[in-house]
Amino acid sequence: MSQQVYSVPKVNKEIGKQVSDYINTLTKPVGSLGRLEEIAIELAEMKNEAFPSIDPPGVLVFAADHGITEEGVSSYPQAVTEQMVRNFLSGGAGINVFSRQIGAFLNIIDIGVAQVIEHPSLINQKIRYGTANFYREDAMTREEAENAIAVGYEQGLDMLNKGCQCLILGEMGIGNTSSSSAILAVLSNSDVASLVGNGTGISQETLLHKVDVIKQSLQVRNPNPEDPIDIISKVGGLEIAGMAGAMLAAASYRVPILLDGFICTIAGLLAKEISPNSADYMIVTHQSVEPGHQLAISLLGKKPILDLGLRLGEGTGAAIAYPIIQSATLMLKEMATFDSAGISNKS
């Protein structure tokens, strides 16, 4: 796949230095707003602006099914993916609530649900009716993997064209922690058992079975760790590829990406593999309880903002963290300096 398609600019470290100096003139002890100061500097570097804005946010939720559910790796049946998509469309899911709270645009994209869903608000970009069972065959073709990334990229651009100043990615797909764990095992060369968690709340017995299924699948599929498209086609998910594509769109246009939990962070790692600079536009919003999430975050070279024991997905963690990140931008824009407020600074 040609890298030219996704040309992501470097962040502007020079403006970061200027903003850092400016923050030190605000009416507060130096460094006293901690991580908020770091976030403000990062946003300035991403957006190439001294006073960056992340308002309004845009939320994209990609939904797709996974053939691997045939192996009994999840506590919920595959039908739940479709049922949850209908819940998103009627406004009743967690991501609906938090998107309303932060005034976000919200789009729901069917990129591979195993059922037909007709709804005027649903964006139908179905690549295929769910992935194949990667325990028995490749999850999808190489072309389907590339198409899923391209769909995500277009959906990302569509959100940016609405005027969104930051992008929140979410997903829905029963079985996607299995796919994400498999991808992470390939990218990190780690033992599967150390990465796999209870997902939606499986038993210890099912957990051991899940580890075994993923291990055996990776031996047979043998994805190339140097080739992100090969990894996606062999053990990936359509919604994971879609999220990665949307991230590449945001990064290409210097728009901050707010990463949600485990599955979203895995999509972030894939985007980084496709275009390394894209990682500089990502903010990890929270630490999920999924065991592999910590490793995935460290591979991105990031640290999470919150740790609330979240494991819902859908983009909910990123939406919950959004007001904190917005606080960083408002600190820059609205706080007085010692000079402007006529306050004596430390001599």
Question: What residues are annotated to the active site?
Answer: 314
Q: DSSP state, 345?
A: P
Number of H helices, E strands in the chain: 13, 6
Max Cα distance, the chain (Å): 71
Rounded Cα distance, 242 and 8, in Å: 17
User: Considering just the CA atoms, what is the radius of gyration of the chain in Å?
Assistant: 20
Given strand 282-284, what is the order of strands in its sheet?
Answer: 122-124, 105-112, 57-64, 166-172, 257-259, 282-284
Output the CA torsion 16→19→23→26 (10° steps): 180
Beta-carbon contacts of 81 under 8 Å, excluding residues fewer than 6 positions away, are 63, 64, 65, 113, 114, 172, 173, 174
Rounded Cα distance, 339 and 129, in Å: 62
Positive or negative torsion for Cα 298, 299, 304, 307 = negative
Rounded Cα distance, 179 and 189, in Å: 15
Rounded Cα distance, 235 and 161, in Å: 32
CA dist list (Å): 307 to 12, 57, 288 = 29, 21, 7
Rounded Cα distance, 51 and 33, in Å: 17
In terms of Cβ atoms closer than 10 Å to its own Cβ (0-12, 13-18, 19+), residue 162 is exposed
